[in-house]
Amino acid sequence: MTPTRETFGNISDGSRWVFYGLAVAATALFAWGLHRRVALWRQGRPIGLRALLSGSWRERISRWRPGARRIAIEGLGQERVRGRGLASGAHGLLFSGFMVLLLGTTLLEVDHLAGMVSSNLHFHQGLYYRVYETTLDLFGVLFLAGCLLFLFRRVRRPPSVGHRASDWGVLAAFLAIGVTGFLVEGLRIGWQRPEGVGATCSPVGLWISTTFLHGWGEGELRRGHVVLWWVHSLLVLGFIAAIPHTRLLHFIAGPLNLALAPATLGVLPPVRMEEVEATGRVGVGDVRHFTQQQLLSLDACVECGRCEEACPAFATAKPLSPKKVVQDLRGVMESLATPVPEGEAGVHGAVVGAETLWACTACSACTRVCPVRVDPVGLILELRRHLVAEGTLSGTAAVALRRMQSSSNPWGLPPGERGAWIEGLSKPPAPSA
């Protein structure tokens, strides 16, 4: 007999329709949540998306190629996520497991719809079925291993890693989705009783069936299958609806930010006089003065703490954590969900203090290590520009600027003594003419 299985086997027609209804509701909730986030990002300074989409196909492709490359290499290939021990390993397992399970579920639905058109189009059988089932079992195990490793890391998380109560919910839901998925498979093998390769191609389900369900009657197996199928389905639909409201938003905002972030991170864009004349401002005083891409990047941040660990100011107990700056700005962005008058979504003072901004050495270490191309130094320098423009500069930064104005150097030395500090140091030979 050709190995295969019915997609909605043992599930009544009524249950299928309820399932599809709930799937539409979950997708609508997901779309509504995402729409609300996009509405927040759009309140920033426009980044000329329309211009990026204009022109001939050739022009558009050449404009989007670098972004698409970054999505492929840094998103799908996880290039910037690697190199952080347990967390990178856990993410690799979770990510690859998730992507393969997502692809597998999509193919299953395609097969189901194709089968409704004509039974000749049904392709979920034979060799394809065997490869499919074994692959999904394998990646399901990797997915569960990633969840367990992340749960362990969350229990013993380093102080630099951020934490929200919903993080437990996300990992627990992933774990429950994986476990109930395998239980459904075990129960299905129990009542369907496939033979030979039709059973062994689902090794985890077969193991569950022979180890834990031994001695169950067909009626019990079928009832258990329906109950677990519903638990599994409701968990998956709940997860879809929850994506925009949890840290999982990063797997939409992350790749988008990878594509849209400037290629030269950590480079300070010059102040354009036309823009100053048009807007009457320099730098960022209200969170909406950031660009749309910068606001998007606040949602891409996963609070992994890499930037904080790399920051020399944080390491020397200065009042600066780049991760906290990003998260505090994100908090202000969220206040834009209800209309806020221009200038009142302020980001200075209680949100990000001047002492925090001036503690930054602008070394760009934070930006270099960020796995999703958030640019904390770029955000900080825009905030500083505002302070300078407002004349609210104090401390060593103010003194240095005054000296630059009066003596053309930050130490306030007379021009003849400016180079004195180099005396006695070994100088590189002067370049030959």
Binding footprint of ligand SF4 on the chain (CB under 6 A): 301-307, 310-313, 320, 322-323, 326, 360-366, 369-372, 374, 376-377, 380
Our CB check for ligand SF4 shows the closer of 276 and 362 to be: 362
Tell me if 238 sits within 8 A of 22, measured CB to CB: no
255 binds ligand HEM (CB under 6 A): yes
User: Is the dihedral angle over the CA atoms 411, 417, 418, 423 positive or is it negative?
Assistant: negative
Query: CB under 5 to 8 A by kind: which of ligand SF4, ligand HEM, none does 170 bind?
Result: ligand HEM
Q: Residue 156 is encoded by which pair of tokens?
A: 């013993």
Return the range that interacts with ligand HEM (CB under 6 A); candidates 23-31, 221-229, 244-252, 391-399.
Answer: 244-252
Identity of residue 362: A
In whole angstroms, the minimum distance from the beta carbon of 376 to ligand HEM comes to 15
Tell me the sheet residues that pair with 4: 125
150 binds ligand HEM (CB under 6 A): yes
Tell me if 297 sits within 8 A of 386, measured CB to CB: no
Q: Residue 54 is encoded by which pair of tokens?
A: 């204009």
Task: Using CB under 6 A, pick the residue from 91, 188, 324, 373 that binds ligand HEM.
Answer: 91
One-character DSSP codes across 355-408? HHHHT-----HHHHH-TT---HHHHHHHHHHHHHHHT---HHHHHHHHHHHHHS
Whole-angstrom Cα distance, residue 319 to residue 111?
A: 57
Q: Residue 56 is encoded by which pair of tokens?
A: 């001939």
Query: CB under 5 to 8 A by kind: which of ligand HEM, ligand SF4, none does 228 bind?
Result: none
251 binds ligand HEM (CB under 6 A): yes
Element (H, E) at 8: none
Query: CB under 5 to 8 A by kind: which of ligand HEM, ligand SF4, none does 216 bind?
Result: none
Whole-angstrom Cα distance, residue 205 to residue 138?
A: 11
Task: Using CB under 6 A, pick the residue from 186, 190, 205, 371 that binds ligand HEM.
Answer: 371
Whole-angstrom Cα distance, residue 160 to residue 321?
A: 9
Our CB check for ligand SF4 shows the closer of 10 and 166 to be: 166
In whole angstroms, the minimum distance from the beta carbon of 362 to ligand SF4 comes to 5
In whole angstroms, the minimum distance from the beta carbon of 433 to ligand HEM comes to 50
260 binds ligand HEM (CB under 6 A): no
132 binds ligand HEM (CB under 6 A): no
Tell me the sheet residues that pair with 390: none
In whole angstroms, the minimum distance from the beta carbon of 63 to ligand SF4 comes to 25
Whole-angstrom Cα distance, residue 431 to residue 433?
A: 6
Return the range that interacts with ligand HEM (CB under 6 A); candidates 92-100, 104-112, 338-346, 383-391.
Answer: 92-100
Residue closest to 229 by CA, chosen among 171, 184, 185: 184
Task: Using CB under 6 A, pick the residue from 26, 29, 40, 81 that binds ligand HEM.
Answer: 81
Tell me if 333 sits within 8 A of 287, measured CB to CB: yes
Task: Using CB under 6 A, pick the residue from 232, 247, 288, 324 that binds ligand HEM.
Answer: 247
Return the range that interacts with ligand HEM (CB under 6 A); candidates 81-89, 189-197, 334-342, 361-369.
Answer: 81-89
Return the range that interacts with ligand HEM (CB under 6 A); candidates 30-38, 211-219, 251-259, 343-351.
Answer: 251-259
CA distances from 403 to 354, 398, 407, 414 (A): 20, 9, 5, 10
Query: CB under 5 to 8 A by kind: which of ligand SF4, ligand HEM, none does 363 bind?
Result: ligand SF4
Tell me the sheet residues that pair with 176: none
Binding site for ligand HEM (CB under 6 A): 75, 81, 84, 87, 91, 94-95, 98, 150, 154, 161, 167, 170-171, 247, 250-251, 254-255, 302, 304, 371-372
